[in-house]
Amino acid sequence: MRDIDKMTEYSLEEISQIVGGILTKLEDVKISRLGPPLLADENTLALALNEDEIENLSKTKAKAALVPIGVTSELISTIEAERPRLAMMKLLHLFYMPPESTPGIHPTATVHPTAKLGENVSIGPNVVISRNVSIGKNSKILANVYVGRSVQIGENCLFHAGCNIGDNAIIGNRVILQHGVSIAADGFSFVTENPNNVENAREEGKVKEDNTDQKIYKIPSVGSVVIGDDVEIGANTCIDKGTIENTVIGEQTKIDNLVQIGHNCKIGKGCMIVSQVGIAGSCKIGDRVVIAGQVGMADHIEIGSDTIIMAQAGVTRSFPEKQILIGAPAMPRKDFIKQMKTMKKAEDLVNKFKQYEHLLKD
């Protein structure tokens, strides 16, 4: 861990080598921080990754900047990068300070004697580790985390403060859980003695009768959650355990804050799920699917691999692979554009009709 009191400095040559960039050097500069051009000083590498920030280089106090390929400046040194955002990621790792943790068990933590902890595991303040839990080497469990019975946690994981892991969850290597994540809580699954309003509406397209005396019974969840390697899950996201099978999150998938993934869902590898997405139970999502913010998905839907679902789409049915979906109800983008054009033509026809409506009346 980098000492917060010791400022690390890098030469422009070192930074250029790290990002694989092209250095145009005007003078020697030692870089100790990163920042946007307008907030940069002489020891800051200005990050000018888009047109607005490139324009701001004329006003910066920085002596050096990271820029896209083809961008140069007569005023300051530049490091040109083919993929500036990728280069920024590499640099941020240089200056990033991970959460403070110390190998070993904090005195206020409760660890069941049957739990198995690997080498260099860190257990923070007020953590609860239940019976038969296994935690791989170098994993860090920060303050106030609860880990239920028989949970398996891989190596080099980082669980931020306040996470809750339900019984029997299986979590792979290098998994990051941000603050307040809930894994393997009970699914939202209930049943009534007689057909309820939703069942009637699905069957007959209408609400049949008053069900004021209907009793609702909880369906217990006996499955759990399986999370693959290199998954990151954002703050306050909830992933429910399966009813009789496991909910699965594929390796390399990244999930944003405030996402809800229902019971029995199967999420593929390398997916990107953005904030406030809600995925109802028993959905199957292919590999490398991108689901933008505030998308809602009905239950038992299948989405093929390499599909992109645009923000605020309402997905009510299944779609094959390599689709771009938009709208509510969601549809392929080409159909959506066609529908918009048709609506525009209809609007034009209505306006024309209004021009001659008085003639018809006469």
79 inside domain: yes
**Residue 299 belongs to domain with CATH number:** 2.160.10.10
List residues with catalytic annotation. Answer: 263
Sign of the CA dihedral with 272 first, then 253, 258, and 279 last: positive
47 inside domain: yes
340 inside domain: no
354 inside domain: no
pLDDT band at 153 (very low <50, low <70, confident <90, very high): very high
| Per-residue pLDDT reduced to its tens digit, 301-355 | 999 999 999 999 999 999 999 999 999 999 998 988 888 778 777 777 777 777 7
* 77/74 Cα distance (integer angstroms): 8
Domain that holds residue 34: 10-95
pLDDT at 4: 44
Q: Is residue 181 domain-shared with residue 232, that is, in the same domain? A: yes
Cis peptide before 329 (omega within 30 of 0): yes
Judging by beta carbons within 10 Å of its beta carbon (0-12, 13-18, 19+), is residue 349 exposed, middle or buried? exposed
Q: Is residue 65 domain-shared with residue 110, that is, in the same domain? A: no
Looking at every residue in the chain, the average pLDDT score rounds to: 92
**Residue 33 belongs to domain with CATH number:** 3.40.1390.10
Q: Is residue 151 domain-shared with residue 88, that is, in the same domain? A: no
Can you tell me the mean pLDDT for 141-151?
98
The total domain count for the chain is 2
Q: Is residue 81 domain-shared with residue 171, that is, in the same domain? A: no
Q: Is residue 32 domain-shared with residue 109, that is, in the same domain? A: no
End residue of a domain, out of 95, 124, 139: 95
Q: Residue 126 CA to chain centroid, in angstroms?
A: 27
The first and second tokens of residue 152, run together, are 């398996």
* 167/149 Cα distance (integer angstroms): 5
* 319/304 Cα distance (integer angstroms): 6
| Per-residue pLDDT reduced to its tens digit, 44-80 | 999 999 999 999 999 999 999 999 999 988 889 999 9
pLDDT > 70 fraction of the chain, expressed in percent and rounded: 97
342 inside domain: no
Q: Is residue 66 domain-shared with residue 112, that is, in the same domain? A: no
Q: Is residue 160 domain-shared with residue 64, that is, in the same domain? A: no
pLDDT at 2: 46
Q: Is 174 in contact with 230 (CB distance < 8 Å)? A: yes
End residue of a domain, out of 37, 70, 95: 95
Strand partners, 284: 266, 302
Q: Is residue 84 domain-shared with residue 131, that is, in the same domain? A: no
Helix, strand, or coil (residue 84): helix
* 362/249 Cα distance (integer angstroms): 68
Can you tell me the mean pLDDT for 107-126?
97
The residue among 101, 132, 104, 133 whose CA lies nearest residue 119 is 104
| Per-residue pLDDT reduced to its tens digit, 175-231 | 999 999 999 999 999 998 888 888 778 778 787 766 677 888 999 999 999 999 999
Strand partners, 140: 122, 158
pLDDT band at 358 (very low <50, low <70, confident <90, very high): confident
Strand partners, 182: 164, 238
Buried b (16+ CB within 10 A) or exposed e, 79-88: bbbeebeebb
| Per-residue pLDDT reduced to its tens digit, 130-140 | 999 999 999 99
